[in-house]
Amino acid sequence: MHASHFGLYWQHIRQQFPATEERDALEPAFELFGERAKRGQRIRFESRDSLRLGRVWYVNAKGTELIQLQADRFVKNWRKTGQADVYSRYEKTVKPGFERDLKTFTEFLASEDLGPMTINQCEVTYVNHIVAGEGWQTWSDAPRVFSFLGEFSQPIEDGMFTLRFPIIHREKPVGRLTVEVQPALRESDERLMYVVNLTARGMMGMPGMTGEGREFLDLGRAAIVQQFAALTTPAMHSIWGRTL
């Protein structure tokens, strides 16, 4: 892809995504197992006559959906921008919308003779804001939120942590789930909150994966839902009205 293709692609989706923003490109990230993990990633240096292409956001009118595009990555995001926004459900809205927009992109590639898209990585990310006032008030109340935290000799001042879990399919690892928790302040009212990022990432060619590998999206989403439930307390589930 060249810079001109980003503009040409916008013409295909401009009615649904009328606004654009420019960002730095995301760095590659792959989950490796077995011999691949021992060898590690191959580092490739390239000589370029032009500047490295960045990343473009294509945003819908409400700001609730966006497509992120760079030379080696296609991303679809859903986000809540106002209190009245209803969270999109994965099965009914999120996955069908992703498949629709990915199809439009692959059709664009074909129309510009850019060749078929080869999928080498699938990723699903959920971002949760756990706001104070619902079951907890201060950072020292973290054990009320997270089930794996016990009692400490001193109150917790604040804290952040990262946890990683293998994603198993047919008794073999096909990816990893990374959970990152950070304390933050909500901009609208400066209330304390925990920002919980859960990212399930899998690589094409791993044992047990077939076809294009997009079935990992369902597998990763299931791992995220199950692990989030395991990492948070039943008391918080009751407050959220969570059902199995």
Across the range 175-187, mean pLDDT stands at 94
Instruction: Determine the pLDDT at residue 172.
Output: 86
How long a stretch of residues is the chain?
A: 244
Please report, for the chain, the start and end positions of each structural domain, with discontinuous segments joined by +. Answer: 3-111, 121-240
Low-confidence winner among 169-173, 197-201, 208-212 (lowest mean pLDDT): 208-212
Residue 239 predicted with pLDDT over 80 = yes
Whole-number pLDDT of residue 39: 55
Please give the pLDDT value at position 153. 83
Q: Is 69 exposed, middle or buried (0-12, 13-18, 19+ CB in 10 A)?
A: buried
Mean pLDDT of 200-228: 79
Query: 65 with 101: CB under 8 angstroms?
Result: no
Least confident window among 15-29, 68-82, 111-125, 203-217: 203-217
Q: Which of 14, 118, 19 is nearest to 74 (CA)?
A: 118
215/155 Cα distance (integer angstroms): 43
Model's pTM, two decimal places?
0.86
Chain centroid to Cα 79, Å, comes to: 11
Q: What pairs with residue 124 in β-bridges?
A: 200
**What residue type is assigned to position 8 of the chain?**
L
210 confidence band (pLDDT: 50, 70, 90)? low
The pLDDT value given to residue 80: 80
Among 96, 91, 92, 93, CA closest to 79: 93
Segment 53-67 mean pLDDT: 94
Q: Which amino acid is at 30?
A: F
**Residue whose C-alpha is closest to residue 20's, from 29, 9, 10:** 10
Show Cβ contacts of residue 54 under 8 Å, excluding neighbours closer than 6 positions.
Answer: 22, 23, 24, 25, 70
pLDDT for residue 43: 47
**Structure confidence at residue 42 (pLDDT):** 52
Asked if 146 and 233 touch (Cβ cutoff 8 Å), the reply is yes
Rounded to whole angstroms, the Cα distance separating 5 from 203 reads 26
pLDDT of residue 47: 46
Q: How far is Cα 28 from Cα 120, in angstroms, rounded to an integer?
A: 11
Residue 150 identity: G
Does 130 or 84 have the greater pLDDT score?
Answer: 130
